[in-house]
Each structure stands twice: as structure tokens, then as C-alpha cells.
Amino acid sequence: MTHSISGQTRVCGVIGDPVEHSLSPVMHNAAFQALDLDYVYVAFHVHRANLAAAISGMRALGLRGLNATIPHKVGVLPLLDAVDPLARQIGAVNTIVNDEGRLTGHNTDAAGFLQALVQNKFSPENKNVVIIGAGGAARAVTLALAGRGAHLIVLNRTPQTAADLVTRVKQAFADSQAIGLEMSDENLRAAVGDADLIVNTTSVGMRPEVGLSAVPARLIEPHHTVFDIVYSPVQTRLLRDAGLSGARTISGLDMLVWQGAVAFELWTGQKAPVEIMSRALREALGEK
């Protein structure tokens, strides 16, 4: 049943620039309807210069929750009343909860990544993980894994960025095992050979460049689990190669769904209908 909008409807949304292609409205509204909750989720196009005004507006209008996407995930931190410890370590917030005017920031990209691993029965404790890329998405993934005691190798085209990310990991988790290296053929071969989990956090393989993969197929073996955070297409070249090599695969769609599910639970206090959210996303992506 679809709730009609009334004086009691609670409003959630996403702020970003650009924001019109966000899949979050489709996913969250499907979830609200499935649970018959009197909530609605909308997209707000917010320029960087208007971020502080938008957060004041969230307080003034009593919006229940917001997602922050590019370019606001970092800039929003000092505008909040509290920030969850993992989000602070990552240095980025993607979900804000408004409890009667008190705004708390969370990073459900990190939580969603871990939930996607749990769903796929991969426990990261003491596992060797290779992370390809060292940008914003890699930061959430790497800190989430470091917090769970994984042993990390970060490989990046620009080695200094990988080294900087590892420094951040060690500041957050002093006894963590992490190294950052250039993404050369040799480093990739050596790191992947010893890995349990390989995570691509770069945009390599994203539509329209669907023929590309960050990891050569010949390096992937049946004992690997391969996680590609790209979700468009759902079956990337990397995941297809991994599947053909007998490796286990986890799609970026799972991370997208779970980051949404964690946000949904923070805003509504209800268990998220993850299957319905996943189906709504697949339909929106044209992949049923």
C-alpha cells in the first residue's frame, strides 16, 4: 500500500551535486512503501556553496534524515552535532540522522560494505585483502576492514595516495597491518597471489567502459573472493572473469543496497526490506 502524503509524513532525502541520477529515492521509497511507513525520500540538488544553509534547513524543516553524496561527504562533518567514530576515522559522512534537532553523522558506506561481506559469508578477521584504488570509496572500505582486523595491501595508480591512506589507517588502528604500494604489474601479481579478498574501489569497468577490468583474469584463482564496488553494470568484467576462474564474487549492488539498508534502519528503527530494495535498484538499473 502507498501512503498518501499528509501532515505527518516524515521526510528523508539526499543532497548532492549532481543528484538527479541518484538511485536512492527509488530504493528508499520502495522500502517505505513495502513496510507501509509514512515516510518519503526526495533528491535535493545542493551546490557546495549552499551546504551550510542546507544543513540549517534540515534542522529548521525537521527533515528526519539525509544522505550526503558527492561533493558533500567531507564538508558536512563540521556542520553536525556528533559524528560516529568510524565516520570520523574515515573523514566522511554519507548519512545524517535528525533526532529532534540534534544531527548525527554516520558512514553507512563502510557499514554497508561489511554487511555485504557478512551476507556473502566472508569474515575479514585476519584475512589478506588487496584494495585497488585509494580514493573516497577506498577510504571507507579500508578503514572498515582495518577495524575488523584484516591485513591490507592498498594498490593505487598514484602511490602517494595509497601511502597517505595507509597512514590514516594506522592513525585510526595503531596495530593494524597495512601497506600502500604503486599498482604495478609486479605488485599486483605478488599481492593478489597471497590474497583472500580482492576489492576494486576504482571506477575501472563502470559503464560505458564495460570491457575493462582492474585485475587481469589470469591472476584470479578459485580461493579468491572478488568484490567490485562498481554496480553499473551489476556483472562487471572483473566479476565475470572472477566467476569464470571459480572465485566467489560480490557485486557493488550488494554494497549499495546495504549502505541504504543501514541508513533506513537508522531513520526508521525498522529492519530494512533488503530484497525489495535490491529489486527496486535492479529495475532502475535496467537489470531485473
Active site residues: 73
Nearest distance in Å: CB 248, ligand ATR: 23
Residue 188 near residue 161 (C-beta atoms within 8 A)? no
Decide whether 31 or 131 has the Cβ nearer to ligand ATR: 131
Cell of 2: 502507498
Decide whether 64 or 237 has the Cβ nearer to ligand ATR: 237
Decide whether 182 or 196 has the Cβ nearer to ligand ATR: 182
Identity (one letter) of the amino acid at 169? V
Nearest distance in Å: CB 273, ligand ATR: 27
Burial track 56-82 (b if 16+ CB lie within 10 A, e otherwise): eebeeeebbbbbbbeebbeebbebbee
Identity (one letter) of the amino acid at 241? D
Residue 24 near residue 112 (C-beta atoms within 8 A)? no
Residue 40 near residue 9 (C-beta atoms within 8 A)? yes
Nearest distance in Å: CB 280, ligand ATR: 23
Decide whether 67 or 156 has the Cβ nearer to ligand ATR: 156
Identify the H or E element spanning 108.
helix 108-119
CA pair distance 275, 88, nearest whole angstrom = 30
Decide whether 95 or 201 has the Cβ nearer to ligand ATR: 201
Nearest distance in Å: CB 115, ligand ATR: 19
CA pair distance 258, 97, nearest whole angstrom = 17
Residue 95 near residue 67 (C-beta atoms within 8 A)? yes
At 20, is the secondary structure helix, strand, or coil?
coil
* Cα-based distances in Å from 74 to 92, 119, 136: 5, 28, 10
Decide whether 98 or 201 has the Cβ nearer to ligand ATR: 201
Nearest distance in Å: CB 140, ligand ATR: 9
Q: Which parts of this chain interact with ligand ATR (CB under 6 A)?
A: 133-138, 156-158, 161, 201-204
- The CB-nearest residue to ligand ATR is 135
CA pair distance 81, 96, nearest whole angstrom = 10
Cell of 278: 535490491
Torsion of CA 27, 30, 35, 37, to 10 degrees: 90
